[in-house]
Amino acid sequence: MTNFDDIRPYNDSEVGAVLARLLNNPELQQAVGSLKFPRLAKRLPWLLRPIVKQVLKRQLAGIDTVRQLQELLAGYMDSMIASTVSELTYSGLDQLQPGKSYLFISNHRDIAMDPAFVNLALIKSGFDSVRIAIGDNLLAKPYVSDLMRVNKCFIVNRSASGAREKFKAAKHLSSYIHHSITEENSHIWIAQREGRSKDGLDVTNSAVVSMLALSKPKKMSLGDYIQELNIVPVSISYEWDPCDEAKACELGALQQHGCYEKAEGEDITSIAAGISGQKGHVHLAFGRVVHGEFESTEQVAKAIDAQVWDNYVLHPSNHLAYKQLYHSGADYPVSAKAMPFDDSVYKAENKQLAQRLAALSTEQQAILLGIYANAIVSKQRSAATG
């Protein structure tokens, strides 16, 4: 037993029991069957489930450590990338030390793929994989919780009610993150804000930094404590977002009605779409360790933002959307001129963007264009304030 058993990932000694539970879970069998054979899963679920169980049992045979499981999953990851990513690139890892633990804070566009891509880049560069922060709102079903925690996910308690319980949960999470980095030499991945950035404007919520600072000793300065956490900002740049239309519809509903009610299972649908959808070129830029004489968590958040924005890799989709959204020089969001870009050589990308806009209303189209254009907006904002 440890102080963090309620939120930590499972360890090697627990893998066997967890995998046994997963193999015998009919909901997991149904979910896997639906992904691989959607028609058969609807018509003959009773026939498909035992077949799925046997296949999974064969694939998981002999696996009794987290590392072995992640190596198995890496094979599926490579297969997914081959079919949904035209190119995966990353930069900045040569500036980090493989034997040192880091707290990676990234922009957040996709529930599953953001940390998965970070993990893949790290592993292929000789680093250990990360422990991944995941909200308990995504773990409503026990088998989903088992599946995540056996894959090095730890739980962020977002369901706590009342100021006292919320503070207690935040301090517990802060202690676990600090313990992981300083005592267990384990990397951590968290998003710069709660929930995905649906509008493409990536801004670090200072409340995230405040949570991290809850474990700071009273006599230690904020700057020294942030230095101890080895925070590395990460910019994840997708050429295409498989969930862009769904995000545009959600934000459009919020603009029009002031609220948006998620359908049952919508988060799981988003996860599946993000995994299976076409993403084009994906780039991960790992920044420098954040340090400075910080006097507030807001200053730390701004330092993270500066690196995230500066390190974006801009794709044709960003430029095309920006040009379409801000076609008049007077409408540019900052005084600087739009970045030079010849869209005549990107006919396929222009067609792709038009297809994504076709089924949307005028208001929703502007939102979708913003999802891509706002990477340039943020870069310009960083240049103007830097």
Tokens (6 digits) for 253:
């509903």
Q: What percent of the chain has pLDDT over 90?
A: 74
> Sign of dihedral through CA atoms 18, 21, 26, 27?
negative
**How does pLDDT run across 88-133, given as a tens digit for each residue?**
999 999 999 989 999 999 999 999 999 999 999 999 999 999 999 9
pLDDT surpasses 80 at 289: yes
For the chain, give every domain's residue range.
66-312, 314-386
**How does pLDDT run across 177-225, given as a tens digit for each residue?**
999 999 999 999 999 999 899 999 999 999 999 999 999 999 999 999 9
pLDDT surpasses 90 at 170: yes
Task: Choose the weakest-confidence range: 5-19, 226-240, 320-334.
Answer: 320-334
pLDDT band for position 354 (cuts 50, 70, 90)? very high
The mean pLDDT of the chain is 92
pLDDT surpasses 90 at 30: no
| Alpha-carbon separation of residue 369 from 80, 279, 305, 310, 373 (angstroms) | 26, 16, 22, 20, 6
**How does pLDDT run across 53-72, given as a tens digit for each residue?**
999 999 999 999 999 999 99
pLDDT surpasses 70 at 279: yes
**How does pLDDT run across 330-341, given as a tens digit for each residue?**
455 554 455 567
